[in-house]
């Protein structure tokens, strides 16, 4: 693990005096708090999300998030149907990264039953998860730039690569987005050598895209002026509030589940974990950019070493799947943070309790702390840098 903080300090400009003011109303203005509801229908709230802001002019004095506009009772549905039937519903949780959600659920059930996974399936899982991480981070940066006013041009660049990756997903799993590909004990279908060659070709061309994307955005004046020093998150608060993912690592805390939990076969790959120094929006932007490069490194290694063999454990029980009584909590490093599934089994084909630990909901705990004292325009950027998906927040 190397700290790549020096790269992130590139080009920092000094802020003027008295720039970050405390969230206290100016004297004489008490009683004139402007209460604004931002959302649920808003061009930059990444979905149906509402924030009740109390403003003094442009400064945020209080921010209360409101959820539930996409609450589709995923957990109650999980109790009513069998374990495998819930797999397509996990696609719809974080709908930008369906394959990561599938893997997290499969991991939790495999912990519950003690199921082993064949090696080729593990490699395929890593390849698909890292491709998902790549297109998620590219899209997240694209959406952040759109919130900043770029009117969709960086988003077009990101979605150009995303379409190529979705083509690969469609060829392998049958669907562009809701892939429903992982199973308890492996993957659903095997990848043909032609698919692996196509993936290698795509991955060989992606570093050029990341170079172009980064060079266009990294030292953009408007980006730097609007994101440096904005929405600072201190590491102690981040750890106490249960923040995970790029949001945590941009504050300087080195906690990446791929290195901590050693799940899957991530131990075999050589990759670094980018950390930030200041914990502001610019750091999160750079951490995501650097994580895209690390994903490409993992992809190159995995595609080179993938072995042959079955993709599904031949002794895995599919019909009459009744795990023993007990419970398990399985988690992975999804592109948004720690995605965990908590399952309680009572010996029947349906789970007794099926719980999703949503990274986006818990990352929003500190939204108020990050936004106090900033302008309303900064709130939009801070929300964009947290990178939430409402399907996961509300489930």
Partner 1 sequence: MKTIEEIKAAIDAAIPDAGVVIVPNPSPSGQHSLLLDPAHATQVAKFLRSDAELSFDFLSNATGVDWPDKEVAERVKVTRPVTKLVDGVEQTAEETVEETRKHIEPGCLEAVYHLFSMEKKHGPLVVRMRTVNRTDQVDLPSLTPIWRSAEFQEREIFDLFGIVFTGHPDLRRILMWDGFVDHPMRRDYVEPDDFEYEPTAHDEVLARAQAHQSVELAAQSAEQQAATAGKKETGAAK
Partner 2 sequence: MAVDEQLKIEMRKQGIVVTSIQELYNWGRRSSIWPMNFGLACCAIEMIATTMARYDMARFGAEVFRPSPRQADLLIVSGTVTKKMAPQVVRLYNQMPEPRYVIAMGACAISGGPFKQGYNVLKGIDRYIPVDIHIPGCPPRPEALLSAFMALQKKIDAQPLTGEGRPRFLDSEAQGEFPVPVPGEHDLEPASNKGVWTVPVVIR
Asked whether position 48 contacts partner 2 by CB under 8 A, the answer is yes
Contacted entry of partner 1, partner 2, none for residue 183, CB cut-off 5 to 8 Å set by kind: none
Sign of dihedral through CA atoms 115, 118, 123, 128?
Answer: negative
Q: Kindly state the helix (H) or strand (E) to which residue 56 belongs, with its residue range.
A: strand 50-56
Asked whether position 77 contacts partner 1 by CB under 8 A, the answer is no
Asked whether position 16 contacts partner 1 by CB under 8 A, the answer is no
Tokens of 300: 């190159």
Count CA within 13 A, CB hemisphere, residue 38. 20
Contacted entry of partner 2, partner 1, none for residue 243, CB cut-off 5 to 8 Å set by kind: partner 1
Distance CA 98, CA 80 (A): 22
Q: Which is nearer to partner 1, 128 or 332 (CB)?
A: 332
Distance CA 315, CA 385 (A): 44
Asked whether position 96 contacts partner 2 by CB under 8 A, the answer is yes
63-92 residues near partner 2, rule: CB under 8 A: 68-74, 76-77, 80, 88-89, 92
Contacted entry of partner 1, partner 2, none for residue 112, CB cut-off 5 to 8 Å set by kind: partner 1
Q: Mark 355-394 with x for binding to partner 2 (rule: CB under 8 A) and - for no binding.
A: -----------------------------------xx---
130-169 residues near partner 2, rule: CB under 8 A: 152, 155-156, 159-160, 162-163
Asked whether position 42 contacts partner 2 by CB under 8 A, the answer is yes
CB 275 within 8 A of CB 287: yes
Q: H helices within the chain, ranges in order?
A: 5-8, 74-80, 87-91, 98-113, 119-145, 153-173, 193-217, 221-227, 235-240, 246-249, 257-260, 281-305, 359-363, 367-371, 376-386, 390-394
Q: Given candidates 54, 175, 202, 237, which one binds partner 1 under the rule CB under 8 A?
A: 237
Q: Given candidates 187, 328, 381, 390, which one binds partner 1 under the rule CB under 8 A?
A: 328
Q: How many CB atoms lie within 10 A of CB 69?
A: 16
Q: How far is the CB of 329 from partner 1 (least distance, A)?
A: 5
Asked whether position 40 contacts partner 2 by CB under 8 A, the answer is yes
Q: Given candidates 46, 125, 258, 357, which one binds partner 1 under the rule CB under 8 A?
A: 357
Tokens of 273: 């974990």
Asked whether position 15 contacts partner 2 by CB under 8 A, the answer is no
Distance CA 269, CA 300 (A): 10
| Residue found under tokens 């199973």 | 183
Tokens of 83: 């374990």
Q: Given candidates 340, 351, 384, 391, which one binds partner 1 under the rule CB under 8 A?
A: 340
Q: How far is the CB of 147 from partner 2 (least distance, A)?
A: 12
| Residue found under tokens 């039937």 | 85
Q: How many CB atoms lie within 10 A of CB 171?
A: 14
Q: Kindly state the helix (H) or strand (E) to which residue 72 belongs, with its residue range.
A: none
Sign of dihedral through CA atoms 369, 289, 142, 333?
Answer: negative
Asked whether position 240 contacts partner 1 by CB under 8 A, the answer is yes
Sign of dihedral through CA atoms 78, 84, 89, 93?
Answer: positive
Q: How far is the CB of 120 from partner 1 (least distance, A)?
A: 23
SS3 category, 256: coil
Angle between helices 153-173 and 193-217 (to 10 degrees): 170
Angle between helices 119-145 and 153-173 (to 10 degrees): 160
Q: Which is nearer to partner 2, 29 or 151 (CB)?
A: 151
Q: How far is the CB of 63 from partner 1 (least distance, A)?
A: 13
Q: Which is nearer to partner 2, 166 or 198 (CB)?
A: 166
Q: Which is nearer to partner 2, 87 or 290 (CB)?
A: 87
Asked whether position 178 contacts partner 1 by CB under 8 A, the answer is no
Candidates 98-106, 275-283, 299-307, 355-363: pick the segment binding partner 1 (CB under 8 A).
355-363
Q: Which is nearer to partner 2, 73 or 348 (CB)?
A: 73
Give the footprint of partner 2 on this chain (CB under 8 A).
Answer: 40-43, 47-48, 68-74, 76-77, 80, 88-89, 92, 95-96, 152, 155-156, 159-160, 162-163, 176-178, 390-391
Give the footprint of partner 1 on this chain (CB under 8 A).
Answer: 67-68, 71, 73, 75-76, 111-114, 237, 239-244, 253, 255, 260, 323-329, 331, 338, 340, 342, 344-345, 352-353, 355, 357, 361-362, 364-366, 394
């Amino acid at each position: 693990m190397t700290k790549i903080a020096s790269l992130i300090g590139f080009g920092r400009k000094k802020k003027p005096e008295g720039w970050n003011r405390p969230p206290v109303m100016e004297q004489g203005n008490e009683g004139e708090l402007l209460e604004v509801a931002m959302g649920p229908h808003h061009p930059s709230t990444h979905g149906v999300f509402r924030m009740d802001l109390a403003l003094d002019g442009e400064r945020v004095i209080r921010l209360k998030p409101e959820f539930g506009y996409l609450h589709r009772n995923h957990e109650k549905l999980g109790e009513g149907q069998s374990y495998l039937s819930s797999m397509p519903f996990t696609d719809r949780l974080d709908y930008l990264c369906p394959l990561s959600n599938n893997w997290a659920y499969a991991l939790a059930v495999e912990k519950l039953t003690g199921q082993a996974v064949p090696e080729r399936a593990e490699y395929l899982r890593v390849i698909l998860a890292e491709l998902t991480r790549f297109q998620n981070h590219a899209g997240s940066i694209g959406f952040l730039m759109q919130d900043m006013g770029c009117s969709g041009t960086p988003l077009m660049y990101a979605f150009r690569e995303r379409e190529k990756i979705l083509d690969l997903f469609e060829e392998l799993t049958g669907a562009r987005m809701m892939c429903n590909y992982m199973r308890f004990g492996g993957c659903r279908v095997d990848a043909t050598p032609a698919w692996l060659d196509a993936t290698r070709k795509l991955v060989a061309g992606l570093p050029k895209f990341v170079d172009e994307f980064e060079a266009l955005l990294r030292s953009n004046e408007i980006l730097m002026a609007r994101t440096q020093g904005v929405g600072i998150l201190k590491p102690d608060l981040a750890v106490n509030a249960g923040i995970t993912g790029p949001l945590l690592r941009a504050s300087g805390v080195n906690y990446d589940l791929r290195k901590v939990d050693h799940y899957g076969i991530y131990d075999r790959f050589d990759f670094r974990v980018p950390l930030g120094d200041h914990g502001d929006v610019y750091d999160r932007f750079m951490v995501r950019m650097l994580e895209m490069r690390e994903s490409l490194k993992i992809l190159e290694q995995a595609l080179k070493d993938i072995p042959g063999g079955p993709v599904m454990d031949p002794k895995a029980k599919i019909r009459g799947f009744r795990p023993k009584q007990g419970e398990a909590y399985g988690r992975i490093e999804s592109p948004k943070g720690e995605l965990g599934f908590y399952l309680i089994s009572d010996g029947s084909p349906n789970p007794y309790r099926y719980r999703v630990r949503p990274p986006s909901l818990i990352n929003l705990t500190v939204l108020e702390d990050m936004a106090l004292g900033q302008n309303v325009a900064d709130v939009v950027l801070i929300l964009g840098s947290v990178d939430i998906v409402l399907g996961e927040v509300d489930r």
